[in-house]
Copies of this chain bind each other. A is one copy, B any other.
Amino acid sequence: MSHQPNHIHFSLPSWLDSYASTYNPSPSLEARMQFVIGAARRNVEAGSGGPFAAGVFEIESGMLVSLGVNLVVSQQSSILHAEMVAIALAQLKLGAYDLGGSDMPAHELVTSAEPCAMCFGAVPWSGVRHLVAGASTEDAKAIGFDEGPKPQNWIEELESRAIRVTTGVEREAAREVLQLYARTGGHIYNSRKC
């Protein structure tokens, strides 16, 4: 074949690191979610991707480990949903493919919208112990995003693997970012139904 790239390289938006540095660790789930939703809003305003963001936090301390945003269009990669970016960044930073290792604090994934089928499937492998979501699957569908073939009982599936799930945290604020994206003509990609 003609040669493929000899590595996989994705760039992050230039605003992401400075935005991440504004976070103050908080015991409040709502505060963590507001911060994540702020990243989703920035991603839309900067034109760097879809209206989705996700962060990995230490559950106990509230420290932020990583912050990801949707980069599908800007990086030309369908795997770069916000949750995947956040998981990859946290694991690269900690040098561990399992964020649930016995030698580290428990982690949670806070995502501005309920995960699609791919990101749902990625959660058990990531090692996070708690999934926190803002906007609902219906909210994402309402602006044309397809969440894919996720099991109806996805919450039970995670909880049966000892991953707690909390949904609807700051849902209105998260939904507003979805609506902002739709209103400003954001590209709704890959919702092809064939």
Contact = CB atoms under 8 A, between A and B. Distances in A.
Interface in A63-118: 63-67, 72-73, 75-79, 84-85, 87-93, 95-98, 100, 116-118
Interface stretch (A15-23, A36-44, A166-174, A178-186): A15-23
Q: What band does the interface of chain A fall in when counting residues whose beta carbon is under 8 Å from B?
A: 35 or more
Number of copies: 2
A190 interface: yes
Contacts of A3: 17, 20-21
A127 interface: yes
Contacts of A98: 78, 189-190
Contact of A88 (B1, B66, B79): B79
Contact of A149 (B95, B121, B193): B121
A193 B8 contact: no
Contacts of A65: 1, 4
A115 to B, nearest CB: 9
Given A78-B97, A91-B78, A98-B78, A4 B121 contact: no
Contacts of A2: 93
21 contacts: A3-B17, A4-B17, A4-B66, A4-B92, A7-B10, A8-B89, A8-B92, A76-B91, A76-B95, A77-B92, A78-B127, A79-B122, A97-B190, A118-B118, A118-B119, A121-B121, A121-B122, A124-B149, A149-B151, A151-B151, A162-B194
Q: Give the 10 A-B CB pairs with smallest separation, nearest first.
A: A117-B121, A162-B194, A118-B121, A149-B157, A1-B64, A78-B125, A8-B10, A118-B122, A121-B121, A78-B97
